[in-house]
Structure 1
Amino acid sequence: MNERETLIRQFIEIQKAAVGTETQEVPFDDADWDMLIWLSKRNKCGLLINNAVNKDPKHFCIKDETLKKWNEDSRMEFVKALNMFNEFKRVMESFDNNGIESVILKGYALAALYPGIFQRYSSDLDIKLNPKDKNKVRKLLTEDLGFIWIEADSKENVDIYYNQKLAIEAHFTLWEDYEGENIDILRAEKLDDPSTLIEVEVTGGLKVKTLGITEHLILQMFHIIKHYILEGIESRYFCDIAFYVNRYLDEIDYSRFWTTFEKMHFDDFCVIYFTECIKHFGMTDKALAGRARRLPDDELAFLNDIVFLGKRDINDRADYSLLGILSPYVNGGKKTAESKNGRMIQALFPSVKDIDKKYSYCKKYHLLLPVAWIHRAIRTIFFKLTKGGKVYGAGKKLKESEYRIKMMKNVGIK
């Protein structure tokens, strides 16, 4: 095995140990622990993996000083996660006191499935809220609770709020600003129908309202697929799905789940993703509902893409921002062109249907589409000039979109 393959195998092995799956004989004699620790944090499972290594440091051949430093960092991560949780409780209490109905998406509803709730943490909190409460929520968060509304990063149906302890994504639809055949399929499932919502206990008697069991699994997998297409995903999601399916094994409507993803043509990806969860993370194969297990065409490339969060260069910290190019794969219906040149033309000159909602004026007045193309180009140049390496330029976007298309084909998304 080369150095990258060894690193990937070692990382997956530690993650397996963290979730209690039987491990293999993967050697750690010459492990690059600085990189493994960095990857654990990048994949948002640092505390989970740190806990596993502390149970048997000799097996993982980690030096005492390295583990000591990591433990100190993990204590700081724990304090940060605790502060975030306390802030979350403050927000939820304020919502309740002001009659604002909220539904937790993923987040603490999934953290409750982990050995400890702080072993699953996020950079933000996803909450589904009623559109009629949008102004009320904004006033409460900004005026009463001290959050800042990040207008530049917000979307039509998602408001972003931030303070020093917590970031909040306030969703007023489950599908953000996406539109298309796939969204129509999901919308028809009525995943947030009030009659299907359930309560789950997070910890110490604290309960939160979340989506129904099958509904939440459908949302999780669509969320995973969406991010896999647009930027890459974290290995932490393997744990989410394995813990979730095993916990709600006999309560999931597998027929409904698979029918939904077959309609969107994402069923091949789900089979492959579930197979990896079964192979590495102890998930029951009941989730396949009789389907044969299937691995990616190139499993190492798939795991490498996930462990490194879709990045080929570990120093790459830029946001992908590939929505304008790859959104047809998420939305369904029209696909991108077959040829690389065709995809380039589509990316530079999107149709009225495919252009981002930021340029909605041309959706109403189609003659303004060329104006929207120029507006879009100027905006791209502006962000590149002001944010530098934090965003991709046009050429880099096109190059990285070709890589993502290659990764999608590897797991059955075409």
Structure 2
Amino acid sequence: MRTTIDNLFMLCRAHLYGTDRPDGGNYEDEIDFETLKKMIQENSLSAFLYKPLKEYNDQKKTIQDEVMSDYGSYIQAVMFRELSKNYGIKKLCTEAESRGIRLVFFKGIILADLYPQYAERTSADSDILVSEEQKEAAEQLLIESGYEKNLEHSKIHVQVYYNKKLSHTVELHTRLWEDYTGPRIDILDKMKLSCPETDIRITACGIEVNTLGHEKHLVYQLFHIIKHFSLEGIGIRYLIDTTLFVNRYFKDIDFNLFWKHIEMLGYTKFVEAFFKICIDELKMNDKVFENHTITLDHSVEDLKTDLLNVGISKEKRAGWQIMGAMESYFTGEAKAPKAGIRRKLAMVFPSLDALPKTYLYARKHPILLPIAWVHRAIKYLIRRKDHKDEFFSVGEKIDVGDRRISLMDELGLLNND
């Protein structure tokens, strides 16, 4: 008997490869649609899995016709929004070329192009890299193209713009790693993942664009995946993205160099576990491990479970509440305390290295650290008063943070050398 998790991966394989269904294409077991639907929504796979689910229901007739009809109408609307975003990107690219502005695309349409239909990979925004020298010109282009700046969500190195007419958000980066700093970010900076000499030009979703070289894009993807995994958790769509990218560009990726870069970043054990799930569940090319000595010495089930549950994001829908506490561990600035009471206390009374950067005054003047602890507690109490149902209690926050750190430790992502 297949579990809901098994059925989810089976539907993914069915859509990607058109095979891997029992009895030569017939679905043997009935799918628990309500449970599966929730898992699909949490993993942002609604558009991607509509076709195999409809195929399943055409055979089994276990999902009510009106339910499938409503699902289909919803997917049509979702995919139309993706087509609208694509139109916006095409216009931006054309105008940027005419103005001599060099835009470099990453994630987004580069990954969407790998899917059976690009609109099946829904996304919240489009990520574009531009040089500091051309940042002002790129922002002016966005404004003249109907985009308005979102000051609240913009950062030093990421300017956020939104086009209401196209329902399209653009994140204009001057650094691939946003505003993050720390030892791991310094290593990434030295790798020069994007520069005119190594960037390439490809056609993605019908648009000719500049993007990172394939090996460098894969390194970036793993950085991005590990960022979200460390700070809040990720879903299985990242498995699909990575599997499709590796299978499409395998011959163009120097995996000896890739593993060297991954080791420099301290990501080896995580990437081994992540790749193993991609291979076992989604048929990623297993030659990624050729000439690489595997260091993983435990089961990948904890990671798989975390991926399927989208980390902590569905716990009160407030995974962002521990992002500040996790950031210093992700960037390699702070060492996590060993398991036990010290680790739990560190969530409430972080060290200077682990203190969120919003308390910069304490980082500059260590004597003010106790004041930062009190400041942090007051901010928490005020926010929780207004959003009590959405906020973790102190105990919940400690437990959630401890579980996240434990899993990061298991996967070799903590700077504990």
Check conservation: 2:247, 2:285, Cα contact below 8 A.
Answer: yes
Matches within 5 A, 1:46-195: 46-58=46-58, 62-65=62-65, 66-141=67-142, 143-164=143-164, 165-195=167-197
Check conservation: 1:185, 1:263, Cα contact below 8 A.
Answer: yes
Check conservation: 1:296, 1:302, Cα contact below 8 A.
Answer: no
Check conservation: 2:112, 2:205, Cα contact below 8 A.
Answer: no
Deviation at 1:235, TM superposition (A): 0.8
Deviation at 1:210, TM superposition (A): 0.9
Name the residue aligned to 2:266.
265
Which is further off, 287-296 or 76-85? 287-296
SS in 2 for 1:408: helix
Change (3 A) 1:191 1:31: same
Deviation at 1:118, TM superposition (A): 0.7
Check conservation: 2:78, 2:122, Cα contact below 8 A.
Answer: no
Deviation at 1:220, TM superposition (A): 0.3
SS in 2 for 1:57: helix
1:175-212 per-position Cα deviation (integer Å, ceiling 9, x unaligned)? 122222211221111101221111121233x2111111
Unaligned ranges ≥5, structure 1:
none
Q: Distance in 2 between matches of 1:355 and 1:333?
A: 10
Change (3 A) 1:373 1:131: farther
Name the residue aligned to 1:18.
15
Name the residue aligned to 1:241.
242
Check conservation: 1:226, 1:330, Cα contact below 8 A.
Answer: yes
Change (3 A) 1:226 1:14: same
Give aligned pairs, total. 408
Change (3 A) 1:219 1:389: farther
SS in 1 for 2:115: coil
Q: In angstroms, what is the RMSD of aligned CA positions?
A: 2.9
SS in 2 for 1:174: coil
Name the residue aligned to 1:252.
253
Deviation at 1:99, TM superposition (A): 4.0
Name the residue aligned to 1:215.
216
Check conservation: 2:316, 2:391, Cα contact below 8 A.
Answer: no
Q: Distance in 1 between matches of 2:193 and 2:390?
A: 35
SS in 2 for 1:381: helix
SS in 1 for 2:128: strand
Name the residue aligned to 2:39.
39
SS in 1 for 2:277: helix
Name the residue aligned to 1:284.
285
1:322-379 per-position Cα deviation (integer Å, ceiling 9, x unaligned)? 2332223311254210134322343333344433333334444444444444443343
Q: Distance in 1 between matches of 2:263 and 2:315?
A: 37
SS in 2 for 1:360: helix
Check conservation: 1:328, 1:354, Cα contact below 8 A.
Answer: yes
Which is further off, 214-223 or 130-139? 130-139
Check conservation: 2:347, 2:401, Cα contact below 8 A.
Answer: no
SS in 1 for 2:347: helix
SS in 1 for 2:160: strand
Deviation at 1:169, TM superposition (A): 2.2
Which is further off, 335-344 or 228-237? 335-344
Check conservation: 1:296, 1:410, Cα contact below 8 A.
Answer: no
Check conservation: 1:7, 1:32, Cα contact below 8 A.
Answer: yes
Matches within 5 A, 1:286-325: 286-291=287-292, 297-311=298-312, 316-325=316-325
Name the residue aligned to 1:342.
342
Deviation at 1:136, TM superposition (A): 4.4
Check conservation: 1:160, 1:169, Cα contact below 8 A.
Answer: yes
Change (3 A) 1:300 1:390: same
Name the residue aligned to 2:6.
9
Unaligned ranges ≥5, structure 2:
none
Change (3 A) 1:96 1:362: farther
Name the residue aligned to 2:331.
331
Tell me which amino acid in the other structure corresponds to 2:337.
Answer: A
Name the residue aligned to 1:398.
398
> Runs of at least 4 residues of structure 1 off by over 6 A?
292-296
Change (3 A) 1:349 1:316: closer
Change (3 A) 1:392 1:409: same
Q: Distance in 2 between matches of 1:132 and 1:397?
A: 42
Q: Distance in 1 between matches of 2:98 and 2:301?
A: 50
Check conservation: 2:199, 2:213, Cα contact below 8 A.
Answer: yes
Change (3 A) 1:262 1:22: farther
Change (3 A) 1:63 1:346: closer
SS in 2 for 1:167: strand
1:111-132 per-position Cα deviation (integer Å, ceiling 9, x unaligned)? 1111111121211222222234
SS in 2 for 1:401: helix
Tell me which amino acid in the other structure corresponds to 2:57.
Answer: P
- TM-score of the pair, normalised by structure 1: 0.87
Q: Distance in 1 between matches of 2:410 and 2:278?
A: 17
Change (3 A) 1:11 1:104: same
Check conservation: 2:105, 2:210, Cα contact below 8 A.
Answer: yes
Change (3 A) 1:156 1:398: farther
Which is further off, 163-172 or 214-223? 163-172
Which is further off, 397-406 or 349-358? 349-358
- Tell me the percent identity: 30
Tell me which amino acid in the other structure corresponds to 1:125.
Answer: S
Change (3 A) 1:42 1:83: farther
Q: Distance in 1 between matches of 2:396 and 2:247?
A: 40
Tell me which amino acid in the other structure corresponds to 2:404.
Answer: R
SS in 2 for 1:194: coil
1:128-173 per-position Cα deviation (integer Å, ceiling 9, x unaligned)? 22234444444544x4344443333333322333343022222221
Check conservation: 1:150, 1:160, Cα contact below 8 A.
Answer: yes
